[in-house]
Amino acid sequence: MTWAAFLDRDGTIVVDKHYLADPDGLELLPNALEGLRAMRDLGARLVVVTNQSGVGRGYFPAEAVDRMHERLRELLAEGGIELDGIYVCPHAPDDGCACRKPGSALFEQAAEELEVDLGASFVVGDKKADVEAGRRIGATPIWIGGEAADLREAARLIRSMRG
C-alpha cells in the first residue's frame, strides 16, 4: 500500500477565484508545480479532493467542473505532473452529504480505489475543512496559510516528516 498527498484545489493548487467555472480563468499558484513534483518524487500519489458547491447552489453545471479539471490536468501536464485522481463533492453545504469536506467519504473512496493508506497520507489545503478532514481520516493535515505558505513548503514539511 502506498500513501497520498490529498490536495485541495482552489487556494492550494490554483488561485481561488470564487466559484470560477471558466477553464480559461484557471491559474496555477506560484510554486504549485515545484511542490507537486517534490511530493511525487517522495513517492506520493497526487489526489485532488475538492468541494464544488457551485454545482449544488446552481451557479454552474457539473460539466463546468469537468471542463475545469480537464484544464487543470493540461496545466499540470505542461509541468510534467499527472494526478492520480480528482474527487469532487458537488453538494451545497446544507445538503447533509458525507462527501463534503470535512467529511471523509471522498478520501475513503480514493483510498480504496488507489490502494492508499490514509494513516500514512497527508491532506494539504487552505481551509479549516481540509485540516479537519485530515484529522478525521487519520492523515497528517498541512494548512496552506498556516504551517506552509504554498505547495513547495508543504512538500518540504512532508519530506521532513517522512524522514
What are the residues whose beta carbons fall under 8 Å from the beta carbon of 74, sequence distance 6 or more?
A: none
Catalytic residue among 10, 126, 130, 150: 10
What pLDDT sits at residue 18? 87
What pLDDT sits at residue 141? 98
Q: Which of 52, 45, 48 is nearest to 86 (CA)?
A: 48
Tell me the C-alpha distance between 34 and 49, whole Å: 19
What pLDDT sits at residue 1? 81
What pLDDT sits at residue 138? 98
Do the beta carbons of residue 110 and residue 47 sit within 8 Å?
yes
Note the pTM of the prediction, 2 decimals.
0.96
The residue behind cell 500513501 is 3
Cell, residue 143? 494548512
Please confirm, yes or no, whether 10 is among the known catalytic residues: yes
What pLDDT sits at residue 30? 97
**Helices 105-114 and 128-137, axial angle in degrees (round to 10):** 60
What pLDDT sits at residue 7? 98
Please confirm, yes or no, whether 8 is among the known catalytic residues: yes
Cell, residue 80? 510534467
Burial label for 57, CB within 10 Å (0-12, 13-18, 19+), is: middle
CATH superfamily name and code, 4-162:
HAD superfamily/HAD-like (3.40.50.1000)
What pLDDT sits at residue 45? 98
Weakly modelled stretches of the chain, pLDDT under 70:
none
Residue 122 phi, psi (nearest 5): -130, 145
- 3-class secondary structure, 117: coil
